[in-house]
């Protein structure tokens, strides 16, 4: 509070000190000259004391006003500050009182996860996947038929929504030019993106479920059917990740597209131009349709 008030009144203080410095020749020189004849060398001391008195006359009222303003502000703001302190203290005490029970619940939940409780696993894995934040729309559903397997279905963004048709190229004169990208370039970037989504989902599920040994990820997107022109869901890949494989990834160096293509238990139809064609839905979709 004191720092805030001094900052608000700093302009007045600077003005007063500027005035005091500017008046030095008038006060010191004037008094010294007036007393030089009668006091001789003692006039210098008297002139100096006169200037000090002038400085105090300029600054003391400012200091007194500042202290008075501080006292008035403290009287006005302290009750609200004190109530806030009491409220924070009460909230802290309540949290401290509730902590043992919360800790018992957390420990009980952790024991269920380690033991492979299906309900606890599914809720934890689902919550972890829901907390993922993408810069585009992507929704997923999850089901755990047992403590060792997780099935995840993800609705991918359309390529038109995430991969632009043009890119910018810097010219020698410093300007930017829009360059149309080839279909193969866009398909390659889209494959890298959606493969990365599968790795992220698998890694998140494995991290949330300590008993999970395998994560099945199936992905679909919306495409316009040729002939009818209708928009329909089309599955583009299905992949199975093992825990040992997932825990071995290094986020700094892993290539999602290479992982997806190299995984033995992956099913996709990748054409020469990098486009992913439609594949049949996973067989386990019918088995888990009620859960998903």
Classify residue 185 as left (phi > 0), alpha (psi -120 to 50) or beta. alpha
pTM above 0.75, yes or no: no
pLDDT-wise least confident of 28-32, 69-73, 139-143? 28-32
| 166 and 248 co-located in one domain | yes
Q: Does position 32 have pLDDT exceeding 70, yes or no?
A: no
DSSP letter, residue 165: S
| 149 and 228 co-located in one domain | yes
pLDDT single digits (tens) 85-98: 999 999 999 999 99
> Does 289 or 250 have the greater pLDDT score?
250
Does residue 182 lie within any of the structural domains? yes
Q: Which of 97, 125, 143 delimits the end of a domain?
A: 97
153 band by pLDDT with thresholds 50, 70 and 90: very high
Does residue 20 lie within any of the structural domains? yes
| 255 and 227 co-located in one domain | yes
| 130 and 219 co-located in one domain | yes
Q: What CA–CA distance (Å, rounded) separates 105 from 100?
A: 9
74-98 as b/e, with b when 16 or more CB fall inside 10 Å? eeeeeeeeeeeeeeeeeeeeeeeee
Q: Which of 40, 66, 97 delimits the end of a domain?
A: 97
Sheet containing 231-242: which strands, arranged edge to edge? 139-143, 149-155, 214-224, 231-242, 266-268
Tokens found for residue 261: 């293509």
48 band by pLDDT with thresholds 50, 70 and 90: confident
- How far is the CA of 4 from the CAs of 74, 100, 203, 227, 264, in angstroms? 12, 42, 50, 72, 66
pLDDT single digits (tens) 251-283: 889 999 999 988 878 899 999 888 999 999 998
Domain, as residue range, for 81 = 2-97
| 146 and 222 co-located in one domain | yes
Does residue 28 lie within any of the structural domains? yes
Three-class DSSP category at 220? strand
What are residue 203's phi and psi, to 5 degrees?
-65, -40
Does residue 112 lie within any of the structural domains? no
| 63 and 197 co-located in one domain | no
In this prediction, residues 98-102 reach a mean pLDDT of 90
| 252 and 191 co-located in one domain | yes
Does residue 195 lie within any of the structural domains? yes
| 209 and 137 co-located in one domain | yes
Q: Does position 239 have pLDDT exceeding 70, yes or no?
A: yes
Q: Of the candidates 249, 243, 244, which has an alpha carbon nearest to the alpha carbon of residue 209?
A: 243
Tokens found for residue 79: 């009750």
288 band by pLDDT with thresholds 50, 70 and 90: low
Tokens found for residue 122: 């599914």
> Looking at the 3D structure of the chain, how many domains does it have?
2
Q: Any bridge partners for residue 219, and if so which?
A: 154, 237
What are residue 151's phi and psi, to 5 degrees?
-115, 125
Does residue 270 lie within any of the structural domains? yes
Q: What CA–CA distance (Å, rounded) separates 169 from 177?
A: 5
Q: What CA–CA distance (Å, rounded) separates 243 from 216?
A: 11
> Does 30 or 11 have the greater pLDDT score?
11
Does residue 77 lie within any of the structural domains? yes
Does residue 194 lie within any of the structural domains? yes
| 37 and 140 co-located in one domain | no
pLDDT at residue 137, as a whole number: 79
287 band by pLDDT with thresholds 50, 70 and 90: low
Q: Which of 97, 128, 161 delimits the end of a domain?
A: 97
| 74 and 176 co-located in one domain | no
| 149 and 268 co-located in one domain | yes
| 218 and 146 co-located in one domain | yes
């Amino acid at each position: 509070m004191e720092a805030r008030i001094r900052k608000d009144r700093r302009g007045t203080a600077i003005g007063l000190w500027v005035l005091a410095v500017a008046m030095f020749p008038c006060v010191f020189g004037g008094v010294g000259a007036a007393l030089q004849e009668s006091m001789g060398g003692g006039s210098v001391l008297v002139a100096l004391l006169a200037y000090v008195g002038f400085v105090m006359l300029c600054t003391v009222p400012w200091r007194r006003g500042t202290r008075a303003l501080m006292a008035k502000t403290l009287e006005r703001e302290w009750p609200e500050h004190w109530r806030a302190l009491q409220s924070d203290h009460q909230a802290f005490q309540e949290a401290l009182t509730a902590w043992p029970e919360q800790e018992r619940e957390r420990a009980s939940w952790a024991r269920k996860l380690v033991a492979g409780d299906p309900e606890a696993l599914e809720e934890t894995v689902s919550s972890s996947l829901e907390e993922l934040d993408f810069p585009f729309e992507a929704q997923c559903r999850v089901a755990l038929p047992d403590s060792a397997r997780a099935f995840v279905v993800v609705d991918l963004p359309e390529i038109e929504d995430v991969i632009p048709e043009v890119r910018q190229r810097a010219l020698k004169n410093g300007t930017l030019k829009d360059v149309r990208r080839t279909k193969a370039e866009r398909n390659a970037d889209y494959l890298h993106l959606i493969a990365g989504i599968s790795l992220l989902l698998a890694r998140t599920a494995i991290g949330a479920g300590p008993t999970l040994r395998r994560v099945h990820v199936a992905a679909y997107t919306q495409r316009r059917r040729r002939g009818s022109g209708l928009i329909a869901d089309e599955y583009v890949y299905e992949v199975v990740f093992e825990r040992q494989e997932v825990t071995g990834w290094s986020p700094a160096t892993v290539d999602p597209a290479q992982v997806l293509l190299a995984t033995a238990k992956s099913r996709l139809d990748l054409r020469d131009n990098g486009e992913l064609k439609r594949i049949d839905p996973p067989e386990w979709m019918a088995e888990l349709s009620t859960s998903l």
